[in-house]
Amino acid sequence: MKNLFLLLATVLSFTFSFSSCTNDDDSSDDNSPINTSQLTGNWKITLFSEDGDDETYYFTNNVFVFNSNGTVTTTHNGSTINGTWTTGTDDSQSKFILNFGTTTPFDELNDDWHVLSQTATKIELEDVSGGNGGTDILHFTKQ
C-alpha cells in the first residue's frame, strides 16, 4: 500500500510539474501589439472585407497618413478626412482602434480591430461583430 501511495504521489508530482510549464517562445505571436514606430507614414487599404463582401473599392484612391501623435488623415473628393488611432488590449488581444467620426465610407473603419499580424509594410486586422457574428477584415500596405 505504501508503494502504491508513493507511485501515485510521484505521478501527480510529474503531472503538476509539466502542466504548469508554458512555452514562452511562441513565434506565431497572433496577439502582438502594433509597433507604433513602424506605423507612421503613408498607407493604403489593400483589403476591406465586410461580412465576406470585398468593399476595398471604397478606399482605392485614398492614402492614409498615420502620425505619431495618434492622428490619421486622408483626402476624399478634395476634402481632408481626419481621424484618430490608438492601440490597446482587450480580452488579452491586441487592438488597433480607428475612429473617423461619421464621414461615409470612413465610418466603416471605426472599430477596435484585432491585430492579426504586422510587418514594416503590412498590417492585417480583423473584427468579429458581437451582434451578428460577422467578420470584417482590414489590411493596410505601406506606400
pTM for the full predicted model: 0.75
Three-state helix/strand/coil letters over 71-140: EEEEEECCEEEEEEEEEEEECCEEEEEEECCCCCCHHHHCEEEEEEEECCCEEEEEEECCCCCCEEEEEE
What is the average pLDDT score of the chain?
82
Fold of 33-142: Lipocalin (2.40.128)
Lookup result for grid cell 512555452: 23
| Helix extents (H) in the chain | 2-19, 36-39
- Reported as a single tens digit per residue, the pLDDT across 52-80 is 999 999 999 999 999 999 999 999 889 99
Assigned C-alpha cell, 23: 512555452
Boundaries of every domain in the chain? 33-142
Amino acid at the residue 135: T
